[in-house]
Amino acid sequence: MAKKEVKKVVLAYSGGLDTSIILKWLQDEYDCEVVTFTADLGQGEEVEPARQKALDLGIKPENIFIEDLREEFVRDFVFPMFRANAIYEGEYLLGTSIARPLIAKKQVEIARKVGADAVAHGATGKGNDQVRFELGYLALNPELTVIAPWREWDLNSREKLLAYAEEHGIPIEKKGKKSPYSMDANLLHISYEGQILEDPAAEPEEDMWLWTTSPEKAPDTPEYITIGFEKGDPVSINGEALSPATLLKRLNDYGNKHGIGRIDIVENRMVGMKARGCYETPGGTILLKAHRAIESITLDREEAHLKDEMMPRYAKLIYNGMWWSPERRMMQAAIDATQENVNGEVRLKLYKGNVIVVGRTSPTSLYSEEHSTFEEDEVYNQKDAEGFIRLNALRFVIEGKKQPHRIESLVGEEEADVCRIETKSVTICERIKRFFGFGKKEEA
């Protein structure tokens, strides 16, 4: 298929070898003007050197965009996701997934600003990121042409990429030992894929982990911290008010020190294959535990249960790149409505890879000590429970009378006969006790 004519393209540019090759390839293959966009999402590396690398590759100064997105990333993407307690497949805190819609949004904004007619990314044709980027582009400006070099070129090996770089004078940095893993980092997490991790039975080497102290080497003394919440979002640590990005960075520091947030999982990619990845999400792991703790005393039971039922669907939407979809926005509105009274403080103990909740308080707490106490109280009549149980068991009683064969399949024919014979003379509570074997008299 012939390439679509492109005049100007906005490239998501990290300044690394792969995106530098893509930059040159776009110039050669599409004969177009290239605009670079580099996002600072708190990945822990300097982003400013990308400016000089772009200049060295012939990019005009006015076509180089470098933006600090740390506060926007945490405030408008990470925090809304954590209000939902989102976890994909029970373990993954979606650190890479949640960054892609913001990058796509900024590329579209820059394209509008500079009059570009195309956008490009460096995601491969095997992964999830191609979907996440492109769904964002199409949702925000479907008129833009999308260029995905990895689906077009034949540079499908490291050797071919290096040869292309050498042929076109693209600098190849050789500073010390290069990590063998494919990595992605931002303020929420760092991920590791590829090489020895492609064998799901192989244990990762300890020196792979770049952020967290090994739990075995973490401090022998636990550390206590208190996180303050307002309307579901964390706003302070130990009483100190912090901006969203600063707060998450502080939690990362605590988590790294105490070996918190390492996971090793095999996940189901959107494209259909399974992939093994290792992740460090120190601050996010602490935040998730704290948020669930403050919700435990501020959310109504059914509100909390319904929210938990929604969460896997919400997490899957984010994993699959559906951040801009109407269904995600609809679910977000429902989730955010539950957070109005999620206020207060959670005290945590951090110790050798563990996050332990040791206390929670809230001015909007639904916890009632006078109702919950095991001591004598004047607000709860325990006899009320009998009628409650009777009403909840009524459908079981009717089923036992009308469809006795179903009881036989559950408890056996002899026990079912006893239940039928004694239905009128034995109370519901007594029959429940007999069914579960409680209160039986020992044989003489």
Two tokens, residue 353 = 């890879």
Residues near 12 by beta carbon (within 8 Å), at least 6 away in sequence: 19, 37, 39, 103, 107, 119, 120, 121, 122, 133
| Tally of CB atoms within 10 A around 139 | 18
Tell which residue, 127, 146, 126, has the closest CA to residue 136: 146
Tell me the one-letter amino acid at 77.
Answer: F
| Tally of CB atoms within 10 A around 117 | 16
Return the beta strands (E) in 269-382 as ranges: 274-280, 344-351, 354-361
Contact present, 163 and 17 (Cβ < 8 Å): no
| Cα separation, 3 vs 30, whole angstroms | 8
Which residues are part of the catalytic machinery? 18, 100, 129, 182
Contact present, 83 and 335 (Cβ < 8 Å): yes
Contact present, 208 and 182 (Cβ < 8 Å): no
Kindly write down the DSSP assignment for every residue of 244-270, as one continuous string: HHHHHHHHHHHHHHTT--EEEEEEE-T
Tell me the one-letter amino acid at 235.
Answer: V
Burial class of residue 99 in the structure, from the number of CB atoms within 10 Å of its CB (0-12 exposed, 13-18 middle, 19+ buried): buried
